[in-house]
Amino acid sequence: MIPPQEASARRREIEDKLKQEEETLSFIRDSLEKSDQLTKNMVSILSSFESRLMKLENSIIPVHKQTENLQRLQENVEKTLSCLDHVISYYHVASDTEKIIREGPTGRLEEYLGSMAKIQKAVEYFQDNSPDSPELNKVKLLFERGKESLESEFRSLMTRHSKVVSPVLILDLISGEDDLEVQEEVPLEHLPESVLQDVIRISRWLVEYGRNQDFMNVYYQIRSSQLDRSIKGLKEHFRKSSSSSGVPYSPAVPNKRKDTPTKKPVKRPGTIRKAQNLLKQYSQHGLDGKKGGSNLIPLEGHEHDFRVKHLSEALNDKHGPLAGRDDMLDVETDAYIHCVSAFVKLAQSEYQLLTDVIPEHHQKKTFDSLIQDALDGLMLEGENIVAAARKAIIRHDFSAVLTVFPILRHLKQTKPEFDQVLQGTAASTKNKLPSLITSMETVGAKALEDFADNIKNDPDKEYNMPKDGTVHELTSNAILFLQQLLDFQETAGAMLASQVLGDTYNIPLDPRETSSSATSYSSEFSKRLLSTYICKVLGNLQLNLLSKSKVYEDPALSAIFLHNNYNYILKALEKSELIQLVAVTQKTAERSYREHIEQQIQTYQRSWLKVTDYIAEKNLPVFQPGVKLRDKERQVIKERFKGFNDGLEELCKIQKAWAIPDTEQRDKIRQAQKNIVKETYGAFLHRYGSVPFTKNPEKYIKYRVEQVGDMIDRLFDTSA
């Protein structure tokens, strides 16, 4: 049971909590009443706002729509006014631009093209909107006049500023090909940069708006003329330089100013000038073989005058293989070779310029037309060289082939560049160079063959034979001619191979020795063919010399003649690369010539038998020492002395006028003959010199042994 005190306290506590809860409940009730009142007031305000907003919206929307319509109308009016202004401007284009068009584009191309653009737009507008308008005809007429002015300006700019490339610059341009050091490319400015930009702009406008391709014809005609004149100017430069100084040169070097030139010799193409230099060497250095580096054997004694004479004749004889050759012909050859190189370089430069001016799909055709005059000129000149060579061959003037050689070699070397430059041109254009090369190979092969036949069939001319038995003109000319082939071995071999001459020489043609081209042969096959040809010429020469030697009535002089010629040929072969070429097909050629030389020496020595036979022991009388000679025996001894003396004097007198130019051979032959004669005469003199066969011994014993030797030492020497 709870104590009374605790129960009373508990009751008071509960009553206090109940009182608090009642107060809280009363507060909440009051708050709810206030909240309801505020809600009613807010609902009333919102209802009033909504009503007013609806009224405002009903008033604003019609105004907004009306404003939009007004704005649209305003925009339409502005656009209409703008269109009217634009249309009206087309009606003023003619009057606004007429003065500019009339004055032309010179000096103000940008402004002029702007005016042409306005006229073009006016034409398009009237064509689309008012094709019957008189304004259309007016702007059309103005447009055509403006286009004509642009075409005229294009022509004027090209004509006034296209300059011929100077020979100095061309030679600098092509001289870089021969320099070992890498040098900067010589620039070619065909047109000033500002002019070039104007030309490009005009050409593009004419293509895009002018619908006109006539300017392309104007372009190629003007540039074609400049290209042709540039090449002709180079050729004229060679002629003038050669006439003034004797040697054409490039007066400028790369990377130097054109107005401060330095003389620079142009490299020679290796033509007949070598033969001319040989003649100069013989004249200047006494033919001692120590100066000048000649490929021919040293010549001395009698042959000096003879060789100089005949070399001079060989260079000027109208019927010899070196006929008609002079510096002017060499200059013409050099000029043509340099003009070919110049054409390639200038054509490359022209194509680079053309790509900036001419539309891409017209570039190849225009370039083809542009180069025709210059190319045709080169080809015509080449064909003239071929024609001249053909005529010369008919006259047996084989110098012509020496002109063809360097030109043909250069054309074949330049052909890859030619092909690259002419890529894209017409087939007829591409075929011009191959056709010329074929013609030159044909005429060259014909000349080589005719030369070989001419060497074989050269007639025996008694008046043309050297009286002293020295080297014949035919021999020297043949060797000079063959030595020229050393500089053009591949070219000469290709000439022969191009005519399928392997069958003629019985040389089997291995399929591996040809390339895919029917006219391209391996260097080994060409070398064998050339070797066979040289051997053929030498064989023909030997046959002809044998025939010519029969002109001499004296067999000894005939032997000396053949000896000199064979020795000359052998030494010439040995002192040049000819011997290596000959050895390709004839390994024993050198030995064969030595045998021939020795045979002729033996033949010559037999001429002394008529002298030595008088004093040979087998023909002498036998007598006992101390026994008086009979008259018959004394007479025999007298006849032997007289026969020896007369024979010795006669031979020495005759053979003194003969010539053996080779010092070594001359000394060898003298010494051999001297030994034989001195030994035989010495034995005879020892046996009969003290025998009393006559009262006047000095009448028969005219010479001592040493005197006989001295007389033989003076053989082959007209100065003795």
Residues 326-369: tens digit of each pLDDT? 456 678 888 999 999 999 999 999 999 999 999 999 999 999 99
Residue 249 has pLDDT above 80, yes or no: no
Residues 565-594: tens digit of each pLDDT? 999 999 999 998 899 999 999 999 999 999
Q: Is the pTM of this model over 0.85?
A: no
**In the predicted model, what is the mean pLDDT of residues 458-473?**
82
| Residue 77: band (very low, low, confident or very high) from pLDDT cuts 50, 70, 90 | confident
Tokens standing for residue 386: 């071929």
CB within 8 Å of 247: residues ≥ 6 apart: 241, 265, 266
Residues 525-565: tens digit of each pLDDT? 888 999 999 999 999 999 999 999 999 999 999 999 999 99
CB within 8 Å of 179: residues ≥ 6 apart: 254
Which of 373-377, 485-489, 495-499, 656-660 comes out lowest in average pLDDT?
495-499
| Residue 47: band (very low, low, confident or very high) from pLDDT cuts 50, 70, 90 | confident
Instruction: Name the residue with higher pLDDT: 269 or 481.
Output: 481
Average pLDDT, the chain: 80
Residues 510-525: tens digit of each pLDDT? 434 444 343 455 678 8
What are the phi and psi torsion angles at 477 (to 5°)? -65, -40
Distance in angstroms (rounded) separating the CA atoms of residues 666 and 655: 12
Q: What is the pLDDT of residue 83?
A: 67
What are the phi and psi torsion angles at 249 (to 5°)? -145, 165
Distance in angstroms (rounded) separating the CA atoms of residues 315 and 330: 13
Of 127, 146, 151, 128, residue with least CA distance to 137: 127
CB 124 within 8 A of CB 139: no
Q: What is the pLDDT of residue 718?
A: 63
Tokens standing for residue 209: 């708006």
Tokens standing for residue 523: 């260097």
Q: What is the pLDDT of residue 258?
A: 36
Residue 508 has pLDDT above 70, yes or no: no
**In the predicted model, what is the mean pLDDT of residues 283-305?**
36
Highest averaged pLDDT of the listed ranges 154-163, 170-179, 510-519: 154-163
Instruction: Name the residue with higher pLDDT: 296 or 656.
Output: 656
Report the DSSP beta bridge partners of residue 249. Answer: 265
CB 488 within 8 A of CB 409: yes
Residue 255 has pLDDT above 80, yes or no: no
Q: What is the pLDDT of residue 402?
A: 83
CB 579 within 8 A of CB 590: yes
Q: What is the pLDDT of residue 197?
A: 93
List Cα–Cα distances, 631 to 637, 686, 692, 694, 701, in angstroms.
10, 21, 11, 10, 18
Q: What is the pLDDT of residue 710?
A: 92
| Residue 686: band (very low, low, confident or very high) from pLDDT cuts 50, 70, 90 | confident
**In the predicted model, what is the mean pLDDT of residues 302-319?**
39
Residue 375 has pLDDT above 70, yes or no: yes
CB 621 within 8 A of CB 604: no
Task: Give the SS3 label for residue 427.
Answer: helix
Q: What is the pLDDT of residue 268?
A: 41
Of 334, 343, 248, 307, residue with least CA distance to 568: 307
**In the predicted model, what is the mean pLDDT of residues 667-685?**
92
Q: What is the pLDDT of residue 70?
A: 83
Of 543, 551, 445, 464, residue with least CA distance to 502: 445
Which of 403-412, 422-431, 507-516 comes out lowest in average pLDDT?
507-516
| Residue 288: band (very low, low, confident or very high) from pLDDT cuts 50, 70, 90 | very low
**In the predicted model, what is the mean pLDDT of residues 173-178?**
69
Listing DSSP states for 536-566 in one string gives: HHHHHHHHHHHHHHTT-SSHHHHHHHHHHHH
CB 172 within 8 A of CB 252: yes
**In the predicted model, what is the mean pLDDT of residues 590-607?**
95
Provide the residue type at 97 as one letter. T
Q: Which helix (H) or strand (E) holds 123?
A: helix 109-129
Q: What is the pLDDT of residue 515?
A: 41
Percent of the chain beyond pLDDT 90? 41
CB 314 within 8 A of CB 476: yes
Provide the residue type at 300 as one letter. E
Distance in angstroms (rounded) separating the CA atoms of residues 108 and 115: 11
Q: What is the pLDDT of residue 626?
A: 61
Distance in angstroms (rounded) separating the CA atoms of residues 74 and 640: 153
CB within 8 Å of 153: residues ≥ 6 apart: 104, 105, 106, 109, 198, 202
Which of 106-115, 132-141, 675-684 comes out lowest in average pLDDT?
132-141
CB 366 within 8 A of CB 219: yes
Listing DSSP states for 125-187 in one string gives: HHHHH-TT-HHHHHHHHHHHHHHHHHHHHHHHHHHHH--PPPHHHHHHHHHTTT-SS--PPPP
Instruction: Name the residue with higher pLDDT: 399 or 313.
Output: 399
Distance in angstroms (rounded) separating the CA atoms of residues 641 and 684: 9
Which of 164-168, 321-325, 462-466, 604-608 comes out lowest in average pLDDT?
321-325
Q: What is the pLDDT of residue 322?
A: 42
